[in-house]
Chain A
Amino acid sequence: MSSRFFGQYLLEKGRITSQQLSSALDTQKAATPPIGILALEKGWLTAEQIKQILDVQKKTNYRFGEQAVLSALLTQTQVDELLGAQETSHRVLLGDVLVSKGYLTLAALEKEFKEYDKDEEKLSFELAAAFDKVRNRELVKTFTDLMMIMFTRFAKQELKIEQCETGKEKVRLFRWVFSQKIADKNVEFNCLLSVPPKLLLHMASTMLDETVSAPDELALDASKEFVNIANGNACARLSENGFNFTMEPPEVYETTAKPYPFNAKDVVCVHLASADAKLEVAFEF
């Protein structure tokens, strides 16, 4: 069992079909999550209370948050927090679309949010245990975290850790592999990021602040800089714990043209996923 996004979770449980998920993800790209679903996710409102607010709101013309405060079902502080979270929550967006398309009822969504949270809590313990087992745990965790932060904050691409494993046979290599040599006096390793074409274009588009549609020289240069920034930020973070790393510029490999030349015995890999793509961070020690 591994951690996964809410949509994939619903799919695996048979609550929705792959066509429904695909249709919902397409719609979701342009959607903004309503305050009510956000409050449902947090357990601040029940499905019944949301219906109650919506019914009153039709007559009063107040906004949902305003009506919830007037009905004493939410505080203003809670509404402010929900407004702040409105732009970020992937599963809320998806839940909203699934309900509006009639694939799930609001009550079913409430139940699935709760069960998903329980599953994720259990998985987070399993993941922590998996990280504890790997060699150079602190490095693996920090470089993975900073790569995820780069995707989440800079590229606006939410990621989850699916699993952490050891052995080069476990590494999932996608079309593009970025490899950067990093070393200090006690440890030397290659930090790898492997992504499918669509994520490479997303990384390049983020760096260049324009839509990139082909993996040309500039797109690869931009993606390399994306990797360089994430890894450099990890080095900076680790310098607080006594590491003093130097890095070489990253290199890029197209695995469809030539397999990636693994040259180390110890390989640790971290499987990552966005809502609609897989990617990999790996470490060759």
Chain B
Amino acid sequence: MSNAKAVKVLIVDDSKTMIAMIAAHLKDTGFEVVATASSGREALEKYQAHRPQVVLLDIVMPVENGVETLEHILHVDTAACVVMVSSMGTEAEVQDCLKKGAKSFLQKPLKKDHMLSTLNIVCQEAGVAL
């Protein structure tokens, strides 16, 4: 059942496991997963169809990686609120993503509390009502 007050989230990851894990972390939290995508192209389609308030975007994906997908999403919506998710988290990668317009960066393995506090901060800064 859709929750009108919940913040709408799109999860993008080529791993079904990560999608399931993130969705489980977001259950009953004030965030609602409205769509998931396993590739960059699918992410863009789902973004345009659902207009989520937050996107959780994996970086290491086949064909089109997360950094390229970030650019495509920001091209269609410059105000998109995208949080990058990666196991790498190298300084250069984090800086590159933030410079390109990502709002924050989460390193895998994800810890639920840290993920939620990051999303809350990002939403507050972006003016998304929680």
Contacts and interface: CB of A to CB of B under 8 A. Distances in A.
Interface in A223-263: 224-225, 228-233, 235-236, 238-240, 243-245, 247-249
A154 interface: yes
Give the interface size class of chain B.
Answer: 20 to 34
B109 A154 contact: yes
A247 B88 contact: yes
Contacts of B29: none
Nearest to A224: B15
A224 B89 CA distance: 18
Main secondary structure of the interface of A (DSSP, over half): helix
Interface string A91-121: 0000000000000000000000000000000
A233 to B, nearest CB: 6
B88 A248 contact: no
Contact of A207 (B21, B88, B91): B21
Given A221-B15, A221-B17, A225-B17, A247 B109 contact: no
A218 interface: yes
A244 B90 contact: yes
Interface string A199-216: 000000001110000000
Given A249-B14, A249-B60, A231 B87 contact: yes
Contact of A225 (B18, B24, B93): B18
B92 A221 contact: no
Given A208-B17, A221-B16, A244 B92 contact: yes
Given A244-B92, A249-B60, A228 B87 contact: yes
A161 interface: no
A236 B59 CA distance: 13
A236 B90 contact: yes
Interface in B10-60: 14-18, 20-21, 24, 60
Interface residues of A, number: 26
Contact of A249 (B61, B86, B93): B61
Given A208-B17, A218-B16, A228-B15, A248 B60 contact: yes
A269 B92 CA distance: 29
Contacts of A235: 87-88, 90
Given A228-B60, A232-B86, A222 B17 contact: yes
A229 B108 contact: yes
Contacts of A247: 60, 88
A229 B90 contact: no
Contacts of A154: 109
Given A221-B15, A247-B60, A248-B62, A229 B20 contact: no
B60 to A, nearest CB: 5
Nearest to B15: A225
A213 B87 CA distance: 26
Contacts of A224: 15
B109 A229 contact: yes
B107 A236 contact: yes
B124 to A, nearest CB: 27
B43 to A, nearest CB: 15
Interface in B75-92: 86-92
Given A207-B17, A229-B109, A245-B88, 12 more contacts: A208-B20, A222-B15, A228-B15, A228-B87, A232-B60, A232-B88, A235-B87, A235-B90, A236-B88, A236-B90, A239-B90, A244-B92
Interface of A: 154, 207-209, 218, 221-222, 224-225, 228-233, 235-236, 238-240, 243-245, 247-249
